[in-house]
């Protein structure tokens, strides 16, 4: 123990502190001078420096500075202890305003070094969007994106100087970024060249890239958040929704969806009675949808339409289309209405006449029906025959889960010659009103 | 001689004069399912017999079950597992044999009928052409070609996911909702 302590104490402080330049290409131990290379004027280039305590005792770093025109520390400095085997990183900034050669003295505690750098003419970088060009600051460009989005960045490199300017090399480094168009070359004074950059990722986070165009190094940062699909607009194939229909529904988005997404369309029914006929094509009141990347409409399986049966009961259907980004809704009121008859038939069955009506009563208050028979010449036969069906309707609606739908079969025994009867007029009523059917002919 | 007809008020029936409208019968995943309701507002009934193939046009009910095919109760012993029912005829795709229901029994036939529930139905270029019994042709849009059309009731045809109303002047294609999921 004693021997080790003596050895450690014998190392000079300058040798105990190692200073290195951290570059993309690797770490270089700094000597008497550090060359930062060329930087475009107007640009701000940071270089990372790492100070490591190689000794076995703590070093108190009481001074850290860089003195020289166009140089500065990227962060403010405060004295700190540097423990044995630990390292401290900081950045020096070179931001020249004019071309030329620059130098400065870097001091890190007992360590000093001459820092050299060159400022050269460099291209301006502008953003091209919608036919307009916006000059970008040297600090770089930030873009917001969502996961899966294909971002396209159109830039213009221009030469604002009096001399020709090389934009060679022309490279782009950064995960998720890709240079899709543009070539290295030389820009004459006043000339510009367009380049395109593509960016896409499936991961949330911050993504950085560096565009190198000759002496210009330009930072591009993408802030990526998870894609959240905004709720769509609910579009029905009919402006007025009533009972007894199959309504085709499309879900439309304001703009093309950047990334494949999904959601749910629900139909909630509020009425005095339940109605199992109210359902989507999947047999439920909820159906999932997907949206392909680049699409503006949802898909329900293989179909672009959801089909909803509106049932045969008055009430309110509330449609809700829900995505990660929220919910939109549409409300359809199905008003109480007189009985609707979809099918009416009259036939003879031996000595009897039979009238069949298929329809629905969306109030479930059907009561009586009037029948008036005519001969083949159209003359009335007898008076109006009134039949009371209220109890039968009540039993039917209580026992059969088919909403307000019904089939009514009225049988009339005939005394005499039934063949002279040619047609029948039917009136059927519920609490809302009376429904008069067109004359039904006996075959 | 003058003929008189005296109508008596609605007869008292043993069964209720009001009932759920029986619209069609379809085979779904091997089970016979009654469909109630109205055109476009279908409600499935409870699943019934397990069958290999089925057709009902309002007059003739064909059933193919393991070991037999039947029409309105007339039975023919067969080993087929597929059948195409058209009107009064049945054709077995495996052998190409065609049989006909003559009202009492099932007898060999020379040719198969083309009618589905009394109509000729043809799909061309995204449209269905329905030839009514009186020869009138009605045309409706049907983007996807039907896979296998069968009669499902008087004036109704069925293929998976769809019911086609065939009534004259009212031909219309509807979506038949899937079995309700609990």
- What are the tens digits of pLDDT across the range A141-161? 999 998 888 899 999 999 999
- Measured between beta carbons, the chain A residues lying within 8 angstroms of B161 are 281
Same domain, A328 and A351: no
The ipTM assigned to this model is: 0.90
Angstrom distance (rounded) from CA A291 to CA A281: 18
Mark yes or no for CB contact B7/A373 under 8 Å: yes
Average pLDDT over residues B141-166: 94
Mark yes or no for CB contact B5/A342 under 8 Å: no
Per-residue pLDDT at A438 exceeds 60: yes
Same domain, A114 and A131: no
Q: What is the pLDDT of residue A215?
A: 86
Average pLDDT over residues A372-379: 92
- Measured between beta carbons, the chain A residues lying within 8 angstroms of B37 are 277, 312, 402-403, 405
Higher pLDDT, A77 or A418: A77
* Percent of chain A at pLDDT exceeding 90: 75
Q: Which candidate from B3, B175, B180 shows the least CB-CB separation from A246? A: B175
Same domain, A115 and A37: yes
Q: What is the mean pLDDT of chain B?
A: 91
Same domain, A138 and A202: yes
Q: Centre a 10 Å sphere on the Cβ of residue B156 and count the other Cβ atoms it contains.
A: 25
pLDDT one-digit tens code per residue, A37-92:
888 888 888 999 999 999 999 999 999 999 999 999 999 998 989 999 999 999 99
Q: Please answer whether residues A261 and A377 qualify as being in contact, where contact means their C-beta atoms are separated by less than 8 angstroms.
A: no
DSSP symbols for A369-402: EEEEEEETTS-EEEEEEEEE-HHHHHHHHHH--S
Q: What is the pLDDT of residue A16?
A: 87
Same domain, A328 and A345: no
Same domain, A181 and A245: no
Same domain, A132 and A110: no
Which of A198, A225, A252 corresponds to the end of one domain? A225
CB pairs under 8 A between A and B: 150
* Percent of chain A at pLDDT exceeding 70: 97
Q: What is the pLDDT of residue B6?
A: 62
Which of A120, A136, A170 corresponds to the end of one domain? A120
Mark yes or no for CB contact B19/A410 under 8 Å: no
Domain ranges of chain B: 22-108, 120-175
pLDDT grade, residue B180 (50/70/90)? low
Q: What is the pLDDT of residue A41?
A: 87
Residue A229, token pair as written in the block: 């699909």
E strands along A24-164, which residues? 26-29, 33-40, 45-53, 59-61, 64-67, 71-73, 80-82, 87-94, 100-108, 111-120, 124-129, 132-135, 141-146, 151-158
pLDDT one-digit tens code per residue, B111-135:
998 889 989 999 999 999 999 999 9
Q: What is the pLDDT of residue A228?
A: 77
Instruction: Please count the structural domains in chain A.
Output: 4
Mark yes or no for CB contact B36/A405 under 8 Å: yes
Same domain, A148 and A249: no
Average pLDDT over residues B44-61: 94
Which of A50, A85, A120 corresponds to the end of one domain? A120
Angstrom distance (rounded) from CA A41 to CA A121: 6
DSSP symbols for A72-101: EESS----EEE-TT-EEEEEEEE--SSSEE
Average pLDDT over residues A219-233: 89
- Does the N-terminal peptide bond of residue A352 adopt cis geometry, omega within 30 degrees of 0? no
pLDDT grade, residue A1 (50/70/90)? very low
CATH number of the CATH domain containing A175:
2.60.40.10
Q: What is the pLDDT of residue B136?
A: 96
Same domain, A323 and A348: no
Mark yes or no for CB contact A415/B181 under 8 Å: no
Q: Which domain holds residue A114?
A: 2-120
């Amino acid at each position: 123990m004693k021997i080790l302590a003596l050895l450690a104490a014998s190392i000079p402080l300058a040798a105990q502190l190692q200073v290195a330049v951290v570059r993309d290409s690797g770490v270089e131990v700094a000597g008497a001078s550090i060359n930062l290379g060329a930087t475009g004027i107007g640009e701000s280039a940071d270089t990372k420096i790492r100070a490591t305590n190689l000794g076995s005792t703590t070093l108190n770093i009481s001074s850290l500075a860089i003195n020289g025109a166009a140089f500065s520390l990227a962060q403010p400095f405060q004295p700190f202890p540097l423990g044995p085997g630990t390292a401290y990183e900081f950045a020096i900034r070179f931001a020249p305003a004019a071309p030329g050669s620059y130098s400065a003295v870097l001091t890190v505690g007992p360590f000093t070094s001459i820092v050299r750098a060159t400022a050269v003419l460099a291209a301006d970088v502008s953003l091209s969007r919608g036919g307009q060009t916006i000059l970008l600051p040297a600090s770089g460009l930030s873009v917001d994106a969502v996961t899966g989005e294909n971002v396209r960045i159109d830039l213009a490199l221009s030469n604002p100087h009096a001399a020709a300017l090389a934009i060679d090399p022309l490279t782009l480094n950064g995960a998720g970024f890709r240079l899709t168009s543009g070539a290295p070359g030389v820009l004459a004074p006043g000339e510009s060249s367009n380049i395109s950059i593509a960016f896409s990722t499936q991961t949330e986070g911050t993504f950085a890239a560096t565009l190198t165009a000759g002496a210009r190094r330009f930072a591009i940062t993408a802030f990526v958040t998870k894609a959240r699909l905004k709720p769509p607009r609910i579009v029905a194939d009919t402006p007025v929704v009533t009972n007894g229909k199959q309504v085709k529904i499309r879900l439309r988005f304001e703009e093309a969806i950047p990334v494949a997404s999904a959601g749910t369309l629900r139909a909630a029914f509020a009425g005095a009675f339940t109605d199992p006929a109210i359902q989507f094509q999947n047999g439920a009141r909820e159906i999932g949808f997907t949206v392909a990347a680049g699409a503006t409409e949802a898909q329900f399986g293989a179909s672009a339409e959801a089909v909803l049966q509106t049932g045969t009961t008055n009430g309110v259907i509330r449609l809700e289309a829900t995505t990660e980004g929220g919910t939109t809704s549409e409300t359809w009121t199905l008003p109480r209405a007189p009985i609707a008859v979809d099918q009416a038939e009259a036939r003879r069955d031996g000595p009897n006449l039979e009238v069949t009506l298929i329809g629905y009563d969306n109030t479930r208050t059907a009561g009586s029906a009037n029948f008036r028979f005519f001969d083949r010449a159209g003359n009335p036969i007898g008076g109006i025959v009134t039949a009371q069906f209220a109890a039968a309707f009540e039993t039917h609606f209580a026992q059969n889960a088919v909403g307000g739908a019904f089939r009514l079969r009225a049988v009339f025994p005939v005394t005499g010659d039934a063949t002279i009867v040619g047609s029948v007029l039917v009136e059927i009523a519920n609490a809302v009103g009376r429904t008069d059917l067109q004359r039904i002919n006996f075959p | 001689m003058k003929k008189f007809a005296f109508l008596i008020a609605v007869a008292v029936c043993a069964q209720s004069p009001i009932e759920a409208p029986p619209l069609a019968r379809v085979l779904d995943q091997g089970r016979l399912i009654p469909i109630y309701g109205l055109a476009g507002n279908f409600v499935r009934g409870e699943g019934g017999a397990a069958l290999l193939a089925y057709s009902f046009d309002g007059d003739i009910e064909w059933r193919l079950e393991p070991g037999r095919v039947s029409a309105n109760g007339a039975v023919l012993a067969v080993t087929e597992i597929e059948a195409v029912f058209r009107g009064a005829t049945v054709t077995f795709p495996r052998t190409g044999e065609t049989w006909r229901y003559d009202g009492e029994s099932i007898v060999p036939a020379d040719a198969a009928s083309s009618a589905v529930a009394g109509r000729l139905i043809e799909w061309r270029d995204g449209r269905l052409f329905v030839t009514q019994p009186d020869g009138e042709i009605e045309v409706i849009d049907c983007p996807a070609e039907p896979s296998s059309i069968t009669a499902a009731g008087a004036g109704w045809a069925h293929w998976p996911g769809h019911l086609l109303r065939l009534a004259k002047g009212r031909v219309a294609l509807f979506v038949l909702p899937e079995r309700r999921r609990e």
